[in-house]
Amino acid sequence: MSAIDTLLNRNSHARLVDPGPDAAELNTILQAALRAPDHGRLRPWRFVVVAGDRRQALGDVFVRSLRLKGVDDPAKLEKAANAPLRAPLIIAGLLHAVAHPKIAREEQAHAVAAALSAAQLAAEALGIGSMWRTGGYATDPSVIESLGGAVDDQVIGFLYLGTREGPQKLRPEEPLDTFVSYF
């Protein structure tokens, strides 16, 4: 698939199964992330790969996050425990902002989002399905600490990666007129 076809046809897929990306594919996906635009080359990102039985460990982290918020509904806790099992591999993309006199934290967050988007597009080009997720876990300090993040870090996205199960959804072309104007 050409780069343009990849860009025009990318879509998310919630049902992701084995096999996940192999080591070479994962390397390509992460290298694509690291080529994202980044004002000042501050490298304000950290990527944490969660695969295999470490996904259960991440599920435990999600359960603890809910419990710390006072949630004790068994159905909600079970859903949290199983959430990371929705794909064979997850990349957590963290904002690890650098103090800078001119480049604000917000701009650094945009760089991390650009990196995750590049990773997602690289996966698409490799024929690997993906889904970008956040939710309350992304900003929960207990989750961020468990991922090895620093106090002010934030998960910009959990990128779920794997083989698409079921048909790929197709999106109609977007109407340019709604979103684009000429100054």
By the criterion CB under 6 A, which residues form the site for ligand FMN? 11-12, 131-135, 157
Min CB(51)–ligand FMN separation in Å: 19
Q: Kindly report the number of other CB atoms within 10 A of residue 45's CB atom.
A: 24
Question: Closer to ligand FMN at the Cβ: 101 or 175?
Answer: 175
CB 124 within 8 A of CB 118: no
Question: Closer to ligand FMN at the Cβ: 16 or 63?
Answer: 16
CB 121 within 8 A of CB 6: yes
Min CB(88)–ligand FMN separation in Å: 17
Question: Closer to ligand FMN at the Cβ: 46 or 183?
Answer: 46
Cα separation, 29 vs 38, whole angstroms: 17
Question: Closer to ligand FMN at the Cβ: 12 or 142?
Answer: 12
Q: What are 178's two structure tokens?
A: 């709604």
3-state secondary structure of 121: helix
Closest Cα partner for 108 from 36, 50, 52, 180? Answer: 36
CB 157 within 8 A of CB 134: yes
Min CB(10)–ligand FMN separation in Å: 7
Min CB(66)–ligand FMN separation in Å: 15
